[in-house]
Structures are given as structure tokens and as C-alpha cells.
Amino acid sequence: MNESDFSDDPLDALLRASAPEPLPDGGFVARTMTAVDQAERARATQRRTTPVAPIVIARALAAEHRRHEGEARLWRWAIAGVVAGFVLLVAAVALSPDDSVTIAAPAPQQWYPLCLLLAFGAVWYAWRESRRN
């Protein structure tokens, strides 16, 4: 405390005399130094981590965007193919001159090869997606 802050005011002495006793350590220093060590390790880890350059982030985002666009295009063509097949079917039935072309559901056992093909296709697609991720 500066000399100029001292006064002979008895109240000042009274207030100083009423100050609480110093606190014993009680393990505080040890706990604090443990926290200091943890903070220092966290800071060292943070320093070691190389920040990703913005250009790298931009390239990754562009690649992801291209992949997404490719999948969307594939889906659009697939849906267009199904719609075109259905339209062709309806047109063939409608334009049939002697009603020889009809729509009849095939027997269940005739669906088995198609189901097998679709199952293989689904497994192949799932395998490809899992390898990509």
C-alpha cells in the first residue's frame, strides 16, 4: 500500500484489524497445479492440430456437390425410364388393332427372377455406398 494511502484514522486500523485470517492451503495448490497441467496439455494439443486450409475445405465441398449432382441425375433418369416404360405399355395396349395385346399380371413364380435381380442390385448398391463412406 502506498504511503499516501495510510492515514491515522482509527477506523482504518479497526478495519485492517478485522480482516479475516489467511486461508490455509488445504490442497488448493496441488489441485490448481493439476488443472494447470491439464490446461497446458490441452493447449499443446490445440497447437499440434494443423488447421485445415480454406482451399482444401472448398475442394472437398465441390467434390461433395458433384457427387450429389451425379446421384440426383441418376435418380432422374431412373424415374424417367420407369415412366417411359409405363407410357409405352399403355400405348401398346391402346394401339393394339385386334385387342391381342392385354395387360395381365404374371403368375407369382414368374416374378422370382426379377426379385432376385433386384435383391442383388440392392446388395451391390449398399456395398458400394458403405465403401464410399
Partner 1 sequence: MQFDAAAQSQAQIAGWLARARQGDRLAFARLVQSHQSRVRLQLRRLTQGDAALADDLAQETFVQAWLHLNDFRGDARLATWLHRIALTRFLQHVRRPQLPLEWNADEASEVHEPGHDPRAAEGLTRDVERALQALSEIQRLAVVHCFHLDLSHAEAAQVLGLPLGTLKSHLDRAKSRLRELLGAWNPESAT
Contact residues: partner 1, CB under 8 A:
1-2, 5, 9-23, 25, 28-29, 31-33, 35-37, 39-40, 43
Rounded to whole angstroms, how far apart are CA atoms 27 and 57?
A: 47
To the nearest whole angstrom, how small is the minimum distance from the Cβ of residue 44 to partner 1? 11
Task: Single out the residue of 71, 57, 65, 62 nearest to residue 128, CA to CA.
Answer: 71
Q: Which residue, 32 or 96, has its beta carbon nearer to partner 1?
A: 32
Q: Which residue, 14 or 103, has its beta carbon nearer to partner 1?
A: 14
Rounded to whole angstroms, how far apart are CA atoms 115 and 108?
A: 11
Q: Which residue, 1 or 105, has its beta carbon nearer to partner 1?
A: 1
The full DSSP string for 58-94 is HHHHHHHHHHHHHHHHHHHHHHHHHHHHHHHHHHHHH
To the nearest whole angstrom, how small is the minimum distance from the Cβ of residue 9 to partner 1? 7
Q: Extract the C-alpha cell encoding 4.
A: 499516501
To the nearest whole angstrom, how small is the minimum distance from the Cβ of residue 45 to partner 1? 14
Q: Which residue, 13 or 60, has its beta carbon nearer to partner 1?
A: 13
